[in-house]
Amino acid sequence: MAINRRALITALGATPLIGLLPRSAFAAYPDRAIHLIVPFAAGGNADIVGRLVGDLMGKNLKQTVVVENRGGAGGGVGAQAVAKADPDGYTLLVASNGPMTINPLMHTNLGYDPQKDFAPVALTSYVPHALILTNSIAAKNIQDFVAASKKTPMTIGTSGVGSATHMTLERLKAATGANITHVPYRGGGALMPDLMAGTISGAMTEFSTALQMHKGGKAHIVGVALTHRSKLAPDIPTFIDGGVKDFTAGSYIGIVAPAKTPPAVLAQLQKAIADGLKPGSPAVTRLEELGAEIATPEQMTAAGFTAFLKTDAANMKKAADLAGIKPQ
């Protein structure tokens, strides 16, 4: 007996088999809360930017975005959790230097592969690195600093061995020939009292941190790792101004999803971020007040962020080789 096609479809639609279909088969994304994992403790740059971006994503997607802090292992704990999450767009990572481009150079068993286990969504912003010196050193720019270091070796602090600022310091040392001894601290905040006291010659740190000290007269910045001078302090030269060709570096923040997340979902997430970070938006104003540079429109795409990560990974590998860092 011939079976009518319409009757068959109707019959199948009425059976319990419909309950076996995945939720995504009939639900529009997003239909429930999105979890945004910050792989560090609350209060840091990744947490502040992550919450700001989570808020604008929630507004543009018209859905709740829950920000969760899962610190540990230099961002590795939170990154691993997202790498192993379902690729459905409901678990995302606030991605930064540590878990994405530095941890692979420090550890042999990460539990995740930054290049294979994530789908980049968008770069949001980055805080450039800056070299700030104690006031007892008269150097006003990078040329003065390099010349002074060749007469008297400089001790420069960072937030730790293998940190993003340590990598930047190693690159600067190689690019300029400055006579620098690295002094690692346990976090950026721990070195500031020694900097102000003159116990160390200076520090490579985030521009947002250094600027407060610079404007307060507690120390002075001699170079910022940007292609252009910061709008917050146009009097401070860049390293490029000082003759260090193409020298840029910073602590970046972006959003990634688990690999194999559907392209349509990634596109929705990317648009929500890009729309929220348009010039003049409240989010952009707030980030700029914090000393951050906003990603370019191209960097705020999946392809652009992927290219950014590839370049940063290459720079970090060179810096690790210069510092003699090997995975353990």
pLDDT, tens digit (0-9, with 9 covering 90-100), for 226-284? 999 999 999 999 999 999 999 999 999 999 999 999 999 999 999 999 999 999 999 99
Domains of the chain: 30-126+251-323 (3.40.190.150), 128-224 (3.40.190.10)
- Closest by CA position to 131, among listed 195, 246, 210: 210
pLDDT value for 207:
93
Which of 10-19, 156-165, 211-220, 231-240 has the weakest average pLDDT? 10-19
pLDDT at 23: 47
Q: Give the pLDDT mean for 26-37.
A: 90
**Distance (Å) of CA 120 to CA 16, 39, 46:** 38, 16, 16
Would you state the pLDDT for residue 27?
66
102: DSSP letter: I
pTM of the model: 0.84
Q: pLDDT value at position 191? A: 87
67-110 pLDDT, tens digit each? 999 999 889 999 999 999 999 999 999 999 999 999 999 998 89
For residues 323 and 316, what is the distance between their CA atoms, to the nearest angstrom? Answer: 10
Q: What percent of the chain has pLDDT over 70?
A: 91
Report the C-alpha gap between 130 and 318 in whole angstroms.
19
Query: Which pLDDT does position 98 carry in this prediction?
Result: 93
Per-residue pLDDT of 127-163, as tens digits, reads 999 999 999 999 999 999 999 999 999 999 998 888 8
